Amino acid sequence: MKTWRYLPYSVFTGPENMAIDESIMELMKKDNSNQPVLRFYGWKPAALSLGYAQSYAKEVDEEACREANIDVVRRPTGGRAVLHQYELTYSIIVPESEEHVKGTIIKSYLKISEALLKGINAVGVPAEIVAQANSSHTGTAACFDAPSWYELAVAGKKLVGSAQMRRDGILLQHGSIILHFDTELLFSLLKLPNEEVRQRLVNSFKAKACALDEVWTRPVTIDELEKEICLGFEEIMGIKLVPAVLSKEEKLMTEQLVKKYNSQEWTMKR
């Protein structure tokens, strides 16, 4: 049975989290005999993360973020803004040739979603896989605004938001499993023309997205959720997860990459 490295839940700043994911990816590029990695993490302080292509100048209210003590970080992956506050974040870094994720992006999303679904269903949440994106949806700057290909939803409301990138034969996908949404705070951090528009978007967002505490049958801890998702990955992928820590090389590269993710040049590049 193939083994993957499993990095248990730890809490870092936004720049540290993005730097760790990228460092694992970069070192796997240099030696793709390295084991695939499944990692879980949290964010402290809370952070607003932007997709790689989003405009900082057009979409982020700097003053509001500063007043609310919310960090802003740009992800290396695409997608829209996510407020990382009360959540379990996962990341998967794996060679594209890996049996269970090889093929198209859509195929790999499906396989990963099946593993996540197994764990989320196991804690009593009636989620299902959304099989097709709403192509007519224009959306807002916020993620979770609508489900996309093979993401998880409950009664049509998006539950898990994920983003994927591929570079030199390595796949990185990370995503947020939200335990509780502070929707008003999220939209207070985004630039919008007026309060009427803001409230309309808040109401629309609440109708299209949900957090675990809105749909669970009983309260679920991060530890329990992480454990069940690990079991889901082992079953769906046919792998064994082996607890691990960052290697010396990963720690050193993370220290270098944190400088990039902390820089205005990176965060405000668009």
Alpha carbons 61 and 44: distance in angstroms, whole number? 20
Alpha carbons 62 and 195: distance in angstroms, whole number? 17
Q: Using the 8-state DSSP alphabet, how is residue 2 labeled?
A: E
Helical (H) or strand (E) element with 49: strand 47-50
Question: Alpha helix (H) ranges present in 178-219?
Answer: 183-188, 195-208, 212-215
Hey, how many other C-beta atoms are within 10 angstroms of the C-beta on 78? 12
User: CB–CB of 152/113 below 8 Å?
Assistant: yes
Alpha carbons 257 and 234: distance in angstroms, whole number? 30
Catalytic residue ranges = 143
Alpha carbons 138 and 72: distance in angstroms, whole number? 24
The pair phi, psi for residue 162, each rounded to 5°, is -130, 155
* Structure-token pair, residue 133: 């994106």
Alpha carbons 119 and 128: distance in angstroms, whole number? 12
